[in-house]
Amino acid sequence: MSQPTLQQSTGPEFTRIYSYGAARGDLVVPNDDLIGPIDSSDEWIQQRTGIITRTRASHDVLAVDLATDAAREAIDKSGIAPEQIDLVIIATISNVRLTPSMAAVVADRVGANPAAAYDENAACAGFSYGVTQADALIRTGAAHYALVIGAEKLSDIVDPTDRSISFLLGDGAGAVVIGPSDFPGIAAPVWGSDGSKADAVGMNANITEFRDGTAPWPTLRQEGPTVFRWAVWEMAKVAKQALEVAGVTAEDLAAFIPHQANMRIIDEFAKQLGLPESVVIGRDIATTGNTSAASIPLATHRLLEEHPELSGGLALQIGFGAGLVFGAQVVVLP
């Protein structure tokens, strides 16, 4: 007997982002509320990070709730019916339930059942990873329309006495709808990891150690100087690579939206990339804080609200963080 030929799926040649949605924590937390446990000052935090306030969610508001709100806005603005969405990807490091996935719950809440749904953990690069996966899966025909969300409630996994990271973190979710396009809307990614530096950013314990009573509740911590050097020098190279693989230059950009880790890192990025003054830079960190996987879509959502003229322009988005993982690509803004 001859071997039958398998059929493999194929999809559209191009994809694009249709819309953004956002949900920030309902509490505005100024620096003065956090300085006691870390023996610091508002001035010190602003000088080191550029953060004035950060948004955090109330005790009963979960990351999945923020994800749902952001998703609903993105879907409403996309013009795509929720039942047409057949892929939901959520980037998160703060789902307090290891299973079921946050994505499956959100898919049900927004009316996208029975979409394929899963969570992925690439920390601050998670949104970029999700966009890359959605783009690839749609172009192979494995999905038709995708909902990609970065959602975090980092206040659940922070030690208020930790001077390395506690004052940086906020809560929020940002979402996009991605689908077929008549033109290239999402460039090839530059993504990867450097596990040799895994100890630079991560959790101070695991849940089995907590269960056994040998460690406190696991919280985020970082080696600040190591992360700063890696982000500034290595990630600037990644950003330049992302421009090269997209076939564009810094002068072609309308916006630059890096992960909102630290204002000093953002400013140094802009300098190393030689961005012209015409490029609008996302600086959402000043009032939202560092929201890990949610930071890029949140910053983009705010830029589009404040600068609607950016619609149709090119934006370089880059995420980097725990792992150490990174992901960058140029996208057309909706």
Q: How far is CA 128 from the centre of its chain?
A: 6
Opening angle at CA 317, ends 313 and 319, nearest 5: 170
Within 8 A by CB and 6+ apart from 152, the residues are 63, 66, 92, 93, 94, 171, 172, 173, 291, 292, 293, 294
* Backbone φ, ψ for residue 121 (5° rounding): -115, 95
Helix (H) / strand (E) element for 172: namely strand 171-181
Strands 325-332 and 87-91, bridge-based pairing: unpaired
Whether residue 141 contacts residue 69, with contact meaning beta carbons closer than 8 Å, is answered with: no
Whether residue 65 contacts residue 25, with contact meaning beta carbons closer than 8 Å, is answered with: no
Q: Give the active site residues.
A: 124, 259, 290
Closest Cα partner for 121 from 56, 176, 198, 66? 198
- What DSSP designation does 278 have? T
